[in-house]
Structures are given as structure tokens and as C-alpha cells.
Chains A and B, each alone.
Chain A
């Protein structure tokens, strides 16, 4: 059950923008819009910050935006703030075996 592919880490200065990518296959990201993103601070519970590729749950900052192209989903964080530091995981429904697959996680550091 291979995980979705994410870059291991990304660093950027406050106020800048970053984009985290999540690559899968046609059986998951490419075939469905059931892509979600989670933010996890160290020692904390993951928090849903994006669903259905680009829908922000209530209360999530509009600095977060999501998109998808082909087999790759992306999360963009604009106006980076110190509180955005943490690890971000993507997840997708996968039709093979009808499962949910998570990405490996991307650690975001604000310089």
C-alpha cells in the first residue's frame, strides 16, 4: 500500500508563499476529488485544513488554498506565518481496495 509522494521539507521566510505537492496515481488523486490536507503541530492531533481538493473547512484561514492537476494535488500557503510551522499530510481515496492513503508528510519551517 504505497503512500502518496510528498517532498520531505520546505522552508521559507515569513510573508512568503509556499506550495506543497502530493503525487499519486490515476487510481487515487488523478481519478477522484477526494483529496484532503492535514496540518499537524508537534505532539498535537492532525487538523483538517482542506477537503475535496480545494474546500476550506469553516475556521481555516484563507491563506490556505488547494488545487489539483492530473495525479498531483497541491497545497499553497500564502503570507507564511510562524504558526504555520508543522507537518502537512495529504490524503486521498484510492479505488484499489477502497482505501484511504496518506502522503509521507512535508515539514514546513518558517525561517
Chain B
């Protein structure tokens, strides 16, 4: 059973860069056939797909975030990461990492981490 844990700062200043890491346990991040995704949810609002890293290494981003976003995988640490720069208050959200076994079917989720953008 895959398990995830997000880690990163809970508070980021406007214009700064957010880096979040998702540690994966219960399975290998490479060769599993899963895609690795980030999803966020602003307080009181709905879910937003941020992007995903695919089994063969391809990466796809939400077009609305693409210019500020970088995602990567570290197979040696069994982790994947998200970097989002030029943060604004609109980026305040709970950020989840998740496994995607097909095209947008997220069967395992981390507990989520709240990131607040404030000076």
C-alpha cells in the first residue's frame, strides 16, 4: 500500500519560491507504472490539478501554473518534488501529492500540507 508524506514550509512570503517534497513509502517510485501528481485546494474551495510526472519521465503542468512551476523526481530518495515561484496569496492552499494509476485517477493521497502565502 503506497503511502505519501508531503513536507515543506507552511508559510511563504509573497514573491518567494515554494518547494514541496513528497516522500513515498510502501513501493518504489520508479518502475511502478504510476504517475506522480500534485493537487491543491485553496481553503473552502475545490480541487485543482497542478501537474504530474509520468512513468517514462514525461512531465505535464497545469497551463495556468506552467510558467512558474517545476516538478522533478529523485528515485534515490523515493521522492518527488514541486517548485512554484513568484508565490502570491492566490497560491495559499492545501497541497496534496498523490499517485495516478491512469489518466487522472488518484488512488493514494498524502495527508496534505497547508501553505500560506503572507508577509
| Residues of A in contact with B (beta carbons under 8 Å apart) | 1, 3, 32, 34, 36, 38, 45-48, 51-52, 57, 89, 91-93, 97-105
Contacts and interface: CB of A to CB of B under 8 A. Distances in A.
A70 B63 CA distance: 26
Contact of B107 (A1, A57, A91): A57
A91 B100 CA distance: 12
A102 B104 CA distance: 9
B46 A34 contact: no
A48 B111 contact: no
Contacts of A92: 104
Interface of B: 37, 46-49, 52, 60, 62-64, 96, 100, 102-107, 109-112
Contact of A45 (B60, B62, B96): B96
Nearest to A37: B105
B96 A34 contact: no
Given A99-B49, A100-B52, A48 B107 contact: yes
A103 B104 CA distance: 12
A91 to B, nearest CB: 5
Contacts of A57: 107
Which of A91, A100, A104 has the most chain B CB within a 10 Å cutoff?
A: A100
Given A34-B105, A91-B104, A97 B63 contact: yes
Contacts of A91: 47, 49, 104-106
Nearest to B45: A105
B49 A100 contact: yes
B64 A1 contact: yes
Given A98-B60, A99-B62, A100-B52, A89 B103 contact: no
B60 A34 contact: no
A19 B49 CA distance: 24
Contact of A100 (B46, B103, B111): B103
A96 B53 CA distance: 17
Contacts of B111: 45
Given A1-B64, A98-B60, A36 B46 contact: no
Contacts of A101: 49, 104
